[in-house]
Structure 1
Amino acid sequence: MKLDFKKFYIALTSSLAACAAVAMPSSASAQPLTGVYRGEVYSQPNTVNAYSAWLGTEVTMGQGHQAKDSWGNIENPSWQLQSWSTWVHAKPGRRFNYSVAMYPSGQGSLAQCAQGAYDSRFKTLANNLVAHKLQNTIIRLGWEFSGNWMPWYSGGGQQANFAGCFRKIVTAMRTAQPSAGFEFDWNPNYDIPAGDMATTYPGDAYVDYVGLDMYDQGWNGAYPIPSGCTGSCQLSRWQGVWSKQFAPALLKFRDFARSHGKRLSIPEWGVNDAATTGGGDNTYYVQQMLEFIFDPANNVGYHSYFDIQASDGHHQLSSADSNGGNTFKTEFPNAAALFKSYYGTSTPPPNPGPSISTTQATVSANPVTRGQTFQVGGSVTSSSATTVVVKYEIRNASTLSLISEKAYTAQSFTAGQTRAYSSPFVIPTTLAAGTYRVDTLVFTADWSKTLLYRNDTTFTAK
């Protein structure tokens, strides 16, 4: 695979930014698996082959989702498993990525599951997976559990029961088929609160991947982009949504996975149409995602693009149609071309930039007094000679609205140099007392790449 976007920038006539970079590990992780979801194509998983034909490289992981309507479709979905078994075994190296329901809608509870009431059902599922030669399947157990649209929603005081249910199911499946090599993905949505991450996590012994689903939908007023907002106006909105919503979430999940010694996954991601509060043909989002996914420092085990036109959002980039051909015309041609341009060789992507590290930002007083000046300080170190922009932002910790910012442009570093910064800020008296935070950001000198983005320090304003 390659990552040479310079010529593509010119073709798009748009500046595209890179994802937050961190120090490279001493030994690079294996390349992430590339997967795709092409709809519930139980009888025609060859539509995944059509996606591979469009992409120009063999996609080795196909994704399927269980129905949530009956125990029969959870325990023994043979009509689904047989088709996927045929696809997996048609070529070496293929894997199945399977979204597995914890119980049918309206026919169970997390509390009952946590008590072991469904153990026998999941032993049956494990046996049926092996009977269809689907060992080594990656199982997204109770996927998107932090969303209240799921039967196994973990909110409303059900966090501990969710963790217990997850443990019971994993144990049952491993007990039934101890040599099957199933891997389990713990997979909430990207916006799950940090506290819920801790209380719903079932424990390292039960988890192989820490996953997040993340689509290009913005909820801060930047999307949908008005028809007259093009060029730098459009790019600014894309960048704003990324920096406020997506970059912090990716780093939060990466750090959580790292703290538990797990690989990260992104089982569902995609561009989104304007009609469903999306950024449209968002090349910025696609590049950010690909660079994050294939940066070895982030230790991503696999990703799966959601390549369909769903009722709750259009995402399809490929020309793959529902019959296994290539007749579909995407409404996101620039994002599709950028996605395709990433693939084509077996060369891993290069280091996306210099290794930048920062100290945690300090606030001169906590609490600060509204209307009075306080200082935000910190230092930045670069591993190599470079010129960057250093920026501090003050945001409302709850709404993430930007209160104030200070940028230091054209900051030249020699290799290994550390530079200190101190910036005065004021929380206006017109704003409410409460919790605020400092964000630390570092960009390339031309602002085109985000080298570091951290939600650093919270403080109180009185």
Structure 2
Amino acid sequence: MLLLAPAPPATGEPPPEPEPPAAQEPERPEETPGPREPEPAGDGGTPAGTAFGAFLGSGPEGILRSGRFQEWLNGPEMTVGHTYLPGDRWVNIEGRPEFLRPWAEWRRGAPERMFVLNVPMLERSEERVPDRAVARSLSAGARGAHDQRFRTLAERLVSLGLSDTVIVLGWEMNGTTYTHRCGPDPEAWKEYWRRIVTVMRSVPGQEFRFDFAPNRGTDAIPWTECYPGDDVVDIIGMDSYDQPPGNTFAEHVEQPLGLRDHVEFAAARGKPISYPEWGLFRNGDNPEYMLGMLEWIAEHQPIYHTISDYCPHGVWWCGRNPRSAEVFRSVLGTGEPMGVPGGAVGETVGETIEEAVGETIGAAVGKTDTGGVSGETGAE
């Protein structure tokens, strides 16, 4: 997905990366908190142990819209607040207090709330930086060039009361969209991730959880080749949108490095899963995908999930998908027909599921050899 933050046009390769002091190693904490256990099963439409939310904007507008989304849903409380640090310049990746403060106030509003923050690993995040320049930047980061930047971010999060933030670091690294992509130098990328996590965990008072979240599928590089190690990953996530065109949800499940491989990879390591980004895309208003994804979530109980609720992906703020919106509300809310912004009004839940979805969305069957293609398996 796009960070929705302005960035100047690309002007060629970035300036040389600063060299870190020789033999400098990040301070390591004595004890690193592990991932938390899911809460006991509860009532309502959301799966037991699964927190959920929606991305509705990066700043305070996202918080305000979440209240309106909650009213529309009219179901269990959304307890996940999700935003993205702008990746245009380092000063923003360090986490400006004025950007983080509204989210800190939201987090303090209820003890069960979870703050999820996507953190770019390199500046000029969406400026199509050439691979050779990316490789140099990853190597510099692995040597410690940016230790202080991530220490500053960690200190600011702790000071604002966001010490238990879920940090989605360097997301969709197996694709080509972001400067923090893994493909140009996987070994340097993994070492850089490890260094960032070690630096941020060294800050007193932190309880961060680090979420490794690739695109679904193989994309530009198999995401398993980017995995940095169990000791520096707390959650194994996946961004999964309804694409490429014509794909069924069963193909999303069974494709190489798809949803099933993701669940099995995490289970083999004793890690909880998440879906930080998911939603509609290339196949338009697709209630079959919507119900398939919600049933998958209910079956596999991620620690959290957040739908991307802007066009073309969403069900509330985006008014293009009324049939999928009704399915979403039938599973996670009351299911009563209600209009959505933009003037679209859905059918009744029964009509939606019977006519658009069919008799049932069962377990995914069949196996496809079609893997992900760069730009076709993850977010925009």
Report the TM-score, using the length of structure 1 for normalisation: 0.58
State the partner residue of 1:51. 69
State the partner residue of 1:218. 244
Whole-Å separation in 2 of the counterparts to 1:456 and 1:245: 9
Q: Is the 8 A contact 1:44 1:83 kept in 2?
A: no
Secondary structure, in 3 states, of the residue corresponding to 1:294? helix
Residue 450 of structure 1 deviates from its aligned partner by: 3.4
Choose the corresponding residue for 1:204, options 193, 214, 230. 230
Q: Is the 8 A contact 2:174 2:219 kept in 1?
A: no
Q: Is the 8 A contact 1:99 1:141 kept in 2?
A: yes
Whole-Å separation in 2 of the counterparts to 1:36 and 1:171: 29
Q: Which moved more, 1:134-143 or 1:99-108?
A: 99-108
Choose the corresponding residue for 1:174, options 191, 195, 201. 201
Choose the corresponding residue for 2:326, options 337, 362, 383. 337
Q: Is the 8 A contact 2:63 2:106 kept in 1?
A: yes
Whole-Å separation in 1 of the counterparts to 2:178 and 2:119: 12
Whole-Å separation in 2 of the counterparts to 1:268 and 1:39: 13
- Post-superposition Cα deviations, 1:106-133, rounded to whole Å, max 9, x if no partner, equal 6971111112221121111100001111
Whole-Å separation in 2 of the counterparts to 1:216 and 1:300: 19
- Give the total of aligned pairs: 290
Choose the corresponding residue for 2:363, options 447, 451, 459. 451
Query: Residue 151 of structure 1 aligns to which amino acid in structure 2?
Result: T
Q: Is the 8 A contact 1:66 1:100 kept in 2?
A: yes
Query: Residue 189 of structure 1 aligns to which amino acid in structure 2?
Result: N
Whole-Å separation in 1 of the counterparts to 2:285 and 2:138: 39
Q: Is the 8 A contact 1:208 1:262 kept in 2?
A: yes
State the partner residue of 2:164. 136
CA RMSD of aligned residues (A): 2.6
Secondary structure, in 3 states, of the residue corresponding to 2:363? strand
Q: Which moved more, 1:94-103 or 1:71-80?
A: 71-80
Residue 280 of structure 1 deviates from its aligned partner by: 1.6
What are structure 2's unaligned runs of at least 5 residues? 1-39, 42-46, 335-357, 370-380
Residue 299 of structure 1 deviates from its aligned partner by: 4.2
Q: Does 1:64 align with 2:92?
A: no
Whole-Å separation in 1 of the counterparts to 2:249 and 2:363: 14
What are structure 1's unaligned runs of at least 5 residues? 1-26, 223-239, 273-277, 321-328, 346-445, 458-462
More helix by share: 2
- Post-superposition Cα deviations, 1:12-68, rounded to whole Å, max 9, x if no partner, equal xxxxxxxxxxxxxxx989521102100223355221111111111311111111111
- Post-superposition Cα deviations, 1:127-179, rounded to whole Å, max 9, x if no partner, equal 000111112111000111112110111113x11111111110000000013x3
Residue 285 of structure 1 deviates from its aligned partner by: 0.3
State the partner residue of 1:39. 57
More strand by share: 1
Whole-Å separation in 1 of the counterparts to 2:194 and 2:270: 18
Secondary structure, in 3 states, of the residue corresponding to 2:248? helix
Aligned runs of 1:244-283 on 2, under 5 Å?
A: 244-248=251-255, 249-272=258-281, 278-283=282-287
State the partner residue of 2:117. 98
Whole-Å separation in 2 of the counterparts to 1:331 and 1:452: 27
Whole-Å separation in 2 of the counterparts to 1:131 and 1:169: 19
Whole-Å separation in 2 of the counterparts to 1:300 and 1:217: 21
Residue 79 of structure 1 deviates from its aligned partner by: 1.7
State the partner residue of 1:243. 250
State the partner residue of 2:210. 184
Q: Is the 8 A contact 1:61 1:96 kept in 2?
A: yes
- Post-superposition Cα deviations, 1:402-447, rounded to whole Å, max 9, x if no partner, equal xxxxxxxxxxxxxxxxxxxxxxxxxxxxxxxxxxxxxxxxxxxx98
Q: Is the 8 A contact 2:254 2:364 kept in 1?
A: no
State the partner residue of 1:443. none
Aligned runs of 1:432-451 on 2, under 5 Å?
A: 448-451=360-363
Secondary structure, in 3 states, of the residue corresponding to 2:190? helix
Q: Is the 8 A contact 1:31 1:294 kept in 2?
A: no
Residue 201 of structure 1 deviates from its aligned partner by: 0.8
Whole-Å separation in 1 of the counterparts to 2:289 and 2:278: 10
Query: Residue 164 of structure 2 aligns to which amino acid in structure 1?
Result: N
Q: Is the 8 A contact 1:41 1:47 kept in 2?
A: no
Q: Does 1:300 align with 2:302?
A: yes
Q: Is the 8 A contact 1:317 1:330 kept in 2?
A: yes
State the partner residue of 1:85. 104
Query: Residue 81 of structure 1 aligns to which amino acid in structure 2?
Result: L
Q: Who wins on radius of gyration, i.e. which is larger?
A: 1
Query: Residue 155 of structure 2 aligns to which amino acid in structure 1?
Result: N
Secondary structure, in 3 states, of the residue corresponding to 2:148? helix
State the partner residue of 2:21. none
Q: Is the 8 A contact 1:43 1:83 kept in 2?
A: no
Q: Does 1:155 align with 2:164?
A: no
Alpha-carbon spacing, 1:175–1:163, altered in 2? closer, same or farther (3 Å): same
Q: Is the 8 A contact 1:281 1:331 kept in 2?
A: yes
Query: Residue 144 of structure 2 aligns to which amino acid in structure 1?
Result: G
Identity of aligned residues (%): 33
Query: Residue 121 of structure 1 aligns to which amino acid in structure 2?
Result: R
Report the TM-score, using the length of structure 2 for normalisation: 0.70
Residue 294 of structure 1 deviates from its aligned partner by: 1.2
Alpha-carbon spacing, 1:70–1:449, altered in 2? closer, same or farther (3 Å): closer
- Post-superposition Cα deviations, 1:331-372, rounded to whole Å, max 9, x if no partner, equal 211110110111248xxxxxxxxxxxxxxxxxxxxxxxxxxx
Query: Residue 151 of structure 2 aligns to which amino acid in structure 1?
Result: K
State the partner residue of 2:350. none
Query: Residue 315 of structure 1 aligns to which amino acid in structure 2?
Result: H
